[in-house]
């Protein structure tokens, strides 16, 4: 603005000069006054100086305009650079946000108080007078109770109320997709790990199990790669749960708790293992699209076991299939307590509004349970054993004994370690006690608009052993699950109650320390559970649960089977430091009555 004013002043001065010089030339020329001439010269000089200044100002103004244009150009370039940088930042933020969305997990920790409910139990030997060790059976007068090692007649150790800290189903994982260029197919992947928040990671070796898996290691959770196409479905390869389990997961409001329905459902032996609910290695799973509410899933588990009776860990595996932990219960270090070869599973599902229906099937091929004879207290098994030989080891009692018991391995052990073998008994012949096992179930769920959900599942478990071994077949029975779940307070609170029933099995191997041979069919069980969950926010919940398992005379179901970190079962603390054919520990007691209360927090992300 100042430059413009100066420019105007110069113009005014020049105008004045023009006016002066516009007087008649003659008048000026005629003036001979020296003073006037001097003033005219001074004025001319001033005009010249003004012209020079005007020229300089024009040049300065031109430079200023050039500088302004240059600055504007720089500003435009800088704006373009800022825009490009902002786009890069936005792209980086999107990539990072998309990457972070792939992480998922559950952190669950509880404080429990539980009891095994068997502190006053006693075990007695029975004498059976029926043919082949069958009923009638009785305790001879004056018979003393059986003893547990280094303890006495009652269960060994602390079997009453105990307070514990438990990490329950805690896991962290990452999943994602990659679009395959030029196709409508996505490559999908997931890695996951199960974690123990209450203890350091390591091998799961205790007096009740010996496992080679490590909590906290990548892969101890659903881990897979695969392909997905919207109209065709998803095909995955890795280690995953089978459709038999996942089809009814939504009907288990106590998942990971003391009252998880896996205490009974899918649990063929009534212990901590869930044979038809265990994550499967070397499996491929297909998930179909949904057509008018109908969908299905199918899975095949590669066997990869070179042993004809599946008595060893499958190639590429870490543990036996079927939840069989080698050496558990001081049994031989192999897979003869539930290891199998291949498996397949499928389900069909239908959903419409609040209604959900499903049916599922799963088969395990060649399940080896030959160790069921080791340490058996079933008198029918006892009748297969003849008098001790010269080395103190048992001998065959008859032709049936030679046929269905594994005398070859037992005699080999007896020849090398006669002292150890003499306190034990032979396994069943794996040729006869390796058989297919399968499970079938149907479930219905209905959710009412006011927040109440009702669940019911019927399940039938089967083991296809020869008739000659049906007397010890505890793996064949029926089961039921009924649950009520009510969401209220805008979904911030949830109440649930559940009942699981294990029906009587067709036989019993008699592994219980206090097995009662007169209790044929007395191995049913009922589990009752209740719970309350309160959401502190969208991700964090607090819960309070209780569970009670009431076992019949020979039953030994637990509480906490499934996803709960610490199970309370019918085992006492017997733990001799050797593994042999005696099944010396841990000692299982039939008829225990477990009760537990658990409170904790659950965080999902």
pLDDT at 7 over 70: no
Nearest to 458 by CA among 202, 300, 266: 266
Range of the domain at 226: 114-122+148-378+431-604
pLDDT at 424 exceeding the cut of 70: yes
pTM to 2 decimals? Answer: 0.84
CB 441 within 8 A of CB 268: no
In this predicted structure, the answer to whether residue 23 has a pLDDT above a threshold of 70 is no
Output the pLDDT for position 152: 83
Tell me whether residue 203 is in a domain. Answer: yes
Asked whether residue 40 is assigned to any structural domain, the reply reads: no
Q: Is 577 helix (H, G, I), strand (E, B) or coil?
A: coil
Q: What is the pLDDT of residue 526?
A: 98
| Residue 279 lies inside a defined structural domain of this protein | yes
Q: Which pLDDT value is given to residue 322?
A: 85
Give the per-residue pLDDT at 67. Answer: 84
What is the structure's pLDDT at 248? 98
Tokens of 43: 């004025």
The mean pLDDT of 584-593, rounded to a whole number, is: 82
Write down the mean pLDDT value for the chain: 88
Distances (CA, A) of 417 to 473, 580, 583, 600: 30, 10, 16, 50
Number of domains in the chain: 1
pLDDT at residue 581 above 80? no
Instruction: Quote the CA–CA distance of 117 and 263 in Å, as a whole number.
Output: 16
Closest CA to 477 of 507, 512, 443, 515: 507
pLDDT score, position 586: 66
Among 144-148, 155-159, 243-247, where is mean pLDDT lowest? 144-148
Q: What is the CATH number of the domain that holds 261?
A: 2.40.160.10
pLDDT band per the 50, 70, 90 thresholds, residue 216? low
CB neighbourhood size of 164 (10 A): 15
In a domain, 302, yes or no: yes
Has residue 419 been placed in a domain?
A: no
Q: Does residue 591 register a pLDDT over 50?
A: yes
- Are 383 and 373 within 8 A, CB to CB? no
Quick: pLDDT tens for 526-562: 999 999 999 999 999 999 999 999 999 999 999 999 9
Spatial distance between the Cα atoms of 324 and 320, rounded to a whole number of angstroms:
5
Does 438 reside within a domain?
Answer: yes
pLDDT tops 90 at residue 291: yes
Q: Is residue 572 one of the residues assigned to a domain?
A: yes
Q: Is residue 97 included in any domain, yes or no?
A: no
- pLDDT score recorded for residue 317: 87
């Amino acid at each position: 603005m100042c430059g413009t004013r100066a420019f105007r002043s110069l113009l005014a001065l020049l105008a004045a000069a023009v006016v002066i010089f516009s007087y008649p030339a003659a008048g000026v020329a005629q003036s001979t006054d020296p003073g006037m001439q001097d003033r005219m010269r001074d004025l001319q000089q001033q005009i010249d100086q003004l012209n020079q200044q005007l020229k300089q100002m024009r040049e300065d103004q031109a430079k200023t305009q050039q500088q302004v244009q240059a600055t504007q150009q720089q500003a435009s370039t800088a704006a373009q650079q800022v825009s490009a940088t902002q786009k890069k930042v936005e792209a980086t933020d999107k990539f990072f946000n998309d990457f972070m969305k792939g992480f998922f997990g559950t952190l669950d920790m509880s404080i429990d108080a539980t009891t095994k409910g068997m502190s006053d139990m006693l075990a007695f030997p029975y004498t059976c007078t029926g043919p082949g060790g069958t009923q009638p059976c009785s305790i001879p007068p004056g018979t003393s109770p059986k003893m547990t090692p280094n303890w006495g007649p009652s269960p060994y150790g602390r079997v009453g109320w105990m307070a514990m800290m438990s990490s329950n189903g805690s896991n962290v994982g990452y999943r994602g997709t990659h679009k395959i260029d030029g196709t409508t197919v996505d490559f999908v992947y997931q890695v996951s790990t199960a974690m123990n928040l209450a203890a350091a990671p390591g091998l799961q070796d205790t007096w009740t199990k010996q496992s080679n898996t490590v909590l906290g290691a990548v892969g101890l959770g659903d881990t897979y790669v695969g392909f997905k196409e919207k109209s065709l479905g998803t095909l995955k390869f890795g280690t995953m749960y089978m459709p038999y389990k996942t089809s009814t997961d939504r009907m288990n409001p106590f998942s990971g708790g003391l009252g998880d329905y896996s205490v009974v459902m899918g649990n063929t032996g009534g212990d901590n293992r869930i044979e038809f609910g265990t994550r499967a290695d070397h499996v491929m799973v297909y998930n179909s699209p949904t057509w008018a509410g109908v969908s299905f899933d199918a899975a095949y588990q590669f066997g990869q076991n070179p042993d004809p009776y599946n008595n060893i860990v499958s190639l590429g595996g870490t543990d036996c299939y079927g939840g069989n932990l080698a050496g558990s219960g001081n049994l031989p270090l192999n897979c003869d307590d539930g290891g199998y070869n291949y498996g397949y599973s499928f389900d069909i599902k239908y959903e419409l509004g609040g209604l959900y229906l499903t049916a599922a099937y799963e088969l395990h091929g060649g399940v080896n349970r030959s160790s069921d004879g080791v340490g058996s207290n079933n008198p029918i098994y006892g009748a297969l054993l003849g008098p001790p030989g010269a080395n103190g080891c048992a001998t065959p009692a008859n032709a049936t004994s030679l046929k269905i018991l594994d005398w070859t391995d037992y005699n080999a052990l007896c020849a090398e370690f006669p002292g150890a073998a003499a306190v034990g008994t032979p396994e069943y012949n794996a040729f006869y006690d390796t058989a297919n096992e399968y499970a079938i179930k149907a479930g219905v769920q209905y959710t009412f608009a006011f927040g109440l959900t009702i669940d019911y599942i019927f399940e039938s478990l089967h083991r296809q052993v020869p008739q000659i071994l049906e007397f010890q077949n505890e793996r064949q029975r029926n089961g039921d699950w009924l649950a009520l779940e009510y969401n209220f307070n805008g979904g911030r609170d949830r109440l649930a109650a559940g009942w699981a029933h294990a029906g009587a099995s067709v036989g019993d191997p008699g592994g219980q320390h206090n097995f009662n041979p007169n209790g044929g069919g007395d191995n049913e069980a009922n589990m009752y559970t209740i719970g309350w969950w309160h959401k502190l926010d969208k991700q964090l919940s607090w819960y309070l649960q209780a569970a009670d398992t009431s076992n019949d005379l020979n039953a030994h179901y637990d509480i906490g089977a499934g996803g709960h970190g610490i199970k309370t079962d019918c085992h006492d603390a017997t733990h001799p430091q050797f593994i042999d054919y005696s099944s010396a520990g841990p000692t299982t007691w039939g008829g225990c009555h477990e009760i537990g209360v658990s409170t904790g927090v659950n965080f999902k992300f």
